[in-house]
Amino acid sequence: MRLAAAAVVLAAMSASAAAQEGAMVVLSAGASGFWHHNSHVTQTVGLASIEYRGTSDLYRGMKPLVGAFGGSDDSSYVHAGVYRDFALAPRWIVTPHFSAGVYSDGTTNDLGGKLEFQSGVDLFYRLDHRWRVGATLRHVSNGGIYDVNPGIETLAILVAIPLD
């Protein structure tokens, strides 16, 4: 029973610590299209991204993000959305996020249209001075608003740099 109470107190303390962190830039590098589950996603491509994650509480802890990625096949995506940090332990943070944006096909993978939605989850380890390192799994899809909706997955490593 004491162990459970200690875990609850620790989680509450770390949740407030994660919530109090300031704005950051999140950089990533990884691979997209590694799961060739349909005829529209046929190539694995390298991917790099940058996101700004703000601190304004939009609704129940959700905060704004804007970002962009570029692929080694000349694909690109510019998006805006929301994220929320959840502390798992004093230094571990899980961050689900969702955004919508404009996608430009590269030379290999066709996602079906210009308007695409990205959902994902990041797992971070918080270093000293509020820096974070982690990994992400993301999915980009048009949600069925076009005739073709193949979707594409990305796995990447992350570095989050505090801005204040």
> Is the pLDDT score of 12 beyond 60?
no
pLDDT surpasses 80 at 42? no
pTM for this predicted structure: 0.84
Burial of 66 (0-12, 13-18, 19+ CB in 10 A): middle
Each residue of 114-126: pLDDT tens digit? 999 999 999 999 9
Q: Which residue has the tokens 């590694």?
A: 34
Q: What is the pLDDT of residues 72-107, one digit of tens each?
A: 999 999 999 999 999 999 999 999 999 999 999 888
Average pLDDT over residues 10-20: 46
Residue 115 · residue 105 · CB < 8 Å: no
* pLDDT bracket for residue 17 (50, 70, 90): very low
- Structure confidence at residue 11 (pLDDT): 44
- Report the distance separating Cα 33 and Cα 42, nearest Å: 7
